[in-house]
Amino acid sequence: MDTLRYETDGAGLLTLTIDRPDKLNALSAGVISDLDDAFREASADDDVRGLLLTGAGEKAFVAGADISQFPDLGAAAARRFAERGQAVFSQIEQMPKPVVAAVNGVALGGGCELALACHLRVASPSAQFGQPEASLGIIPGYGGTQRLPRVVGRGVATEMILTGDPIGAERAREVGLVNRVAADAAEAARELLRSILENGPEAIRLSLEALRASDQPLEAGLRHEAALFGQAFATDDATEGATAFLEGREPAFEGR
């Protein structure tokens, strides 16, 4: 992959680093394609249990879609452009393993949308989040108008999208866009992932699926939750979790 570093630590953690620092990691068609391939591969790889996504360099997580693609795009191609990015970002959101964004600088436009497609976000104190598309005469197209209000509420999302003004890491934490702010965002994201991975992999997978169902109306979401709760009890990990608790020892989950 030309624009993405794929690095495993031998203990279940995969770090994906978008690697175009000279263009502030802007999302070219090549980056989108590399993200598609990397998440597909990671999903199928049993040795990968959790993923960290970050950007190369000191300045940017991702400074947005690559604007050099925009001037001659046209309506029909723009729609396909949005659909392609949305499909890749939905694949990230639908990963059965936890995905944490370590936002080490600006996350603007498609960068903010990419962070939103991850399950959790950790930011460095200098990180900035924004949807500046309106200042370019367009609107977000990689899910920003849908995922941002779901994460921060429609009021804050409306302000961010209509003004185009970015917010800093602390404000992002206040509004729930960021889970943690830490000087070393990547290391804090790894710590977060390690603490998640102490739990049963099947429980994590089923939890992520149940959380996605919270986009549905409540009654449908509750039915979905009950079905997944049933599936959890079909695993050996559920027996191990309860038995370990009753025996006063740490559980040894096997992901079955």
Rounded distance, CA 83 to CA 52, Å?
A: 24
Residue among 4, 26, 161, 169 that touches ligand COA (CB under 6 A): 26
Compute the least distance from the CB of residue 103 to ligand COA, in Å: 13
Report whether 177 contacts 152 (CB < 8 A): yes
Nearest residue to 173 (alpha-carbon basis) of 133, 127, 139: 127
Rounded distance, CA 5 to CA 9, Å?
A: 13
Nearer to ligand COA among residue 26 and residue 100 (C-beta): 26
Number of Cβ within 10 Å of residue 200's Cβ equals 23
Count the residues of the shown chain that bind ligand COA, applying the rule CB under 6 A: 15
Identify the helix (H) or strand (E) that includes residue 78. helix 75-93
One symbol per residue from 154 to 183: x for binding ligand COA (CB under 6 A), - otherwise; what is it? ------------------------------
Q: Are strands 120-123 and 99-103 parallel, antiparallel or unpaired?
A: parallel
Nearer to ligand COA among residue 5 and residue 59 (C-beta): 59
- Assess whether 170 carries a catalytic annotation: no
Residue among 13, 14, 18, 24 that touches ligand COA (CB under 6 A): 24
Report whether 198 contacts 205 (CB < 8 A): no
Compute the least distance from the CB of residue 141 to ligand COA, in Å: 8
Q: Which of 113, 159, 170, 250 is an active site residue?
A: 113
Q: Is 23 in the site for ligand COA (CB under 6 A)?
A: yes
Tokens of 2: 């030309």
Nearer to ligand COA among residue 27 and residue 42 (C-beta): 27
One symbol per residue from 189 to 218: x for binding ligand COA (CB under 6 A), - otherwise; what is it? ------------------------------
Nearer to ligand COA among residue 65 and residue 192 (C-beta): 65
Nearest residue to 212 (alpha-carbon basis) of 129, 103, 109, 96: 96
Residue among 132, 144, 201, 241 that touches ligand COA (CB under 6 A): 132
- Assess whether 133 carries a catalytic annotation: yes
Nearer to ligand COA among residue 67 and residue 73 (C-beta): 67
CB hemisphere CA count around 56 (13 angstroms): 16
Rounded distance, CA 238 to CA 17, Å?
A: 35
Residues 51-110 that bind ligand COA (CB under 6 A): 63-68, 106, 108-109
Query: For the chain, what percentages of helix, strand and coil (3-state, to nearest 5) are there?
Result: 50, 15, 30
- Binding residues for ligand COA (CB under 6 A): 23-24, 26, 63-68, 106, 108-109, 132-133, 136
What is the set of active-site residues? 113, 133
